[in-house]
């Protein structure tokens, strides 16, 4: 072992070695006839065929650099969501903009708040910026605005809020988000990560567009990885006030979104029928899965996302790790969420009808075993 201060090789700056690398959802299991990957909240219907076609066409011109402004893609987003294109920026996945915001607005000595069961990319970005992550407790697996506000100190510079949250699938009403914003000092940046916004059909939910438009300290981030089924293309976008747009333009990679991604994203955004089908699939299967699994005696956290959090019984033989092993052997790959504070739960992405029925059948057998 070399000491951390070994002068004979380059050393990462303070804080970097405190980062635990992000563990993605597992991929394919081996030796199983058919594998259903239900571990990364991908779209079981796949991307829009129009997006695939557009990416293929764009691939014929791959010798050219992409449009560094991703204008066609931003225009499609602006048209669809009724937004000013000047406030929209595109990134190599929303992870890129979340990480950039941390590195721009945080430094050593600063604190950034995220919630107890919040997305685990946040502490990685906060630590990578040299700042200190502060965890606000949740209440009943839901974000607790009072707990966030109670965690604010003079060092706080940023709050990351996933709404709906992953892996719980719960959300807070927009009135609560407004109350959170109203309670934050004006120099604290509120990042509203709305990766699952498209799936939420509730009157009291809003992704945050209005709050961004009327304030200087709110950014909303969105992704093409979930409802649009384009996780492999890596496209995310943000909606931000002009002064933040300006700063992001200075630091982002000039060609951060590839030409195939721009083409696929534009076509996906304009294919509203595919989005609607994808949302309807989730609206059908989340209640079905929740009901069937509840009948089996499992607790399921009520979800407005495209995934559910399944809690397992306390006995050892039927614990989440046991269930994970049992399901994996049968080709169903779910997500372990111990790192999110749920050692005895699994997160399941809604799959195809076949996969959903298969998981329920397998868990029925598992619980009898
Ligand atoms: C999936 C997800 C993202 C999206 O990440 P991309 O980099 O756009 O693929 C962001 N936030 C949360 C909470 C997510 O679950």
CATH number at residue 291: 3.90.1150.10
At 21 the pLDDT is 86
The pLDDT, as a whole number, for residue 1 is 45
**Residue 258 maps to which CATH number?**
3.40.640.10
> Domain range holding 361?
3-46+273-368
Q: Encoding tokens for residue 122? A: 């946040």
In this predicted structure, what is the pLDDT of residue 12? 86
Do 22 and 65 fall into the same domain?
A: no
Count other Cβ atoms within 10 Å, centred on residue 195. Answer: 27
Q: Do 214 and 96 belong to one domain?
A: yes
The verdict on 240 and 331 lying in the same domain is no
109 and 11: one domain?
Answer: no
70 C-alpha vs ligand 1 centroid, how far in Å? 20
261 and 174 in a common domain: yes
Ligand 1 pocket mutation, candidates 122, 195, 196, criterion most atoms within 8 A of CB? 195
Q: What pLDDT is attached to residue 11?
A: 87
Quote the pLDDT of residue 339: 94
Atom of ligand 1 nearest to the CA of 95: 7
Helix, strand or coil for residue 91?
A: strand
Atom index in ligand 1 nearest the CA of residue 193 equals 11
- Residue whose token pair is 């829009």: 48
Among candidate residues 237, 270, 303, the one where a domain is terminated = 270
Cβ atoms within 10 Å of 171's Cβ, excluding its own: 26
Structural domains of the chain, count: 2
Residue at a domain's end among 231, 249, 270: 270
Answer for the pair 263, 270: CB distance below 8 angstroms, yes or no.
no
Asked whether the CA dihedral 317, 322, 323, 326 is positive or negative, the reply is: negative
CA 108/CA 125 separation, integer angstroms: 13
Residues 288 and 323 placed together within one structural domain of the fold? yes
Same domain, yes or no: 149 and 266: yes
Q: Report the separation in Å between the CA atom of 125 and the middle of ligand 1, taken as the mean of its atom positions.
A: 13
> Is 198 in contact with 177 (CB distance < 8 Å)?
no
C-alpha span between 73 and 178 (Å, rounded):
29
Going from the Cα of 47 to the center of ligand 1, the distance in angstroms, rounded, reads 16
Q: Which of 347, 122, 341 is nearest to 221 (CA)?
A: 122
3-class SS string, 152-196: CCCCEEEEEEECCCCCCCCCCCHHHHHHHHHHCCCCCEEEEECCC
Quote the pLDDT of residue 33: 75
Out of 226, 227, 238, mutate this one to test ligand 1's pocket (max ligand atoms within 8 Å of CB): namely 226
pLDDT recorded at residue 207: 97
Check whether residue 202 and residue 86 sit in a common domain.
yes
Same domain, 42 and 131: no
d(CA 342, CA 129): 27
The minimum-distance atom of ligand 1 relative to the CA of 92 is: 7
Together in a domain, 85 and 176? yes
Mean pLDDT computed over every residue of the chain: 95
Q: Which of 243, 270, 297 is where one domain is finished?
A: 270
User: Does 149 share its domain with 63?
Assistant: yes
List, for the chain, all residue ranges whose pLDDT scores fall below the cut of 50. 1-2
What pLDDT, on a 0 to 100 scale, did the predictor assign at position 32?
75
- For 162, the token pair is 């996933």
* CA-closest candidate to residue 180, choices 85, 232, 113: 113
Q: Write down the pLDDT at residue 148.
A: 98
Question: Which residues, 6+ apart, have CB-to-CB distance to 84 below 8 Å?
Answer: 78
Specify whether 242 is located in the same domain as 348: no
């Amino acid at each position: 072992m070399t000491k951390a201060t070994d002068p004979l090789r380059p050393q990462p700056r303070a804080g970097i070695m405190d980062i635990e690398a992000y563990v993605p959802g597992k991929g394919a299991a081996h030796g199983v006839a058919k594998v259903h990957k239900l571990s990364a909240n991908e779209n079981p219907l796949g991307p829009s065929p129009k997006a695939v076609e557009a990416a293929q066409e764009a691939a014929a011109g791959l010798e050219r650099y992409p449009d560094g402004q991703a204008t066609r893609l931003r225009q499609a987003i602006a048209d669809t969501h009724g937004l000013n294109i000047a406030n929209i920026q595109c990134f190599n996945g929303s992870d890129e903009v979340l990480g950039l915001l941390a590195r721009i607005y945080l430094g050593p000595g600063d604190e950034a708040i995220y919630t107890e069961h919040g997305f685990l990319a946040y502490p990685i970005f906060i630590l990578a910026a040299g700042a200190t992550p502060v965890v606000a407790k949740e209440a009943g697996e839901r974000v607790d605005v009072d707990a966030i506000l109670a965690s604010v100190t003079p060092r706080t510079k940023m709050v990351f809020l996933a709404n709906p949250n992953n892996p719980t699938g719960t959300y807070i009403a927009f009135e609560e988000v407004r109350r959170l914003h109203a309670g934050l000092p004006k120099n604290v940046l509120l990042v509203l990560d709305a990766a699952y916004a498209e799936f939420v059909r509730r009157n009291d939910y809003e992704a945050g567009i209005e709050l961004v438009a009327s304030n200087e300290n709110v950014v909303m981030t969105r992704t093409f990885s979930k409802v649009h089924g384009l996780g492999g293309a890596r496209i995310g976008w943000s909606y931000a006030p002009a002064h933040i747009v300006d700063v992001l333009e200075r630091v982002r990679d000039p060609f951060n979104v590839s030409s195939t991604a721009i083409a696929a994203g534009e076509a996906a955004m304009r294919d509203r029928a595919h989005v609607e089908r994808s949302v309807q699939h989730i609206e059908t299967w989340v209640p079905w899965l929740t009901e069937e699994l509840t009948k089996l005696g499992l607790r399921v956290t009520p979800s407005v996302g495209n995934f559910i959090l399944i809690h397992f019984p306390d006995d050892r033989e039927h614990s989440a790790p046991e269930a994970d092993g049992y399901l994996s052997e049968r080709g169903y790959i779910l997500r372990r969420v111990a790192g999110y504070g749920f050692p005895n739960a699994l997160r399941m992405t809604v799959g195809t009808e076949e996969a959903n029925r298969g998981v329920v059948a397998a868990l029925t057998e598992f619980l009898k075993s």
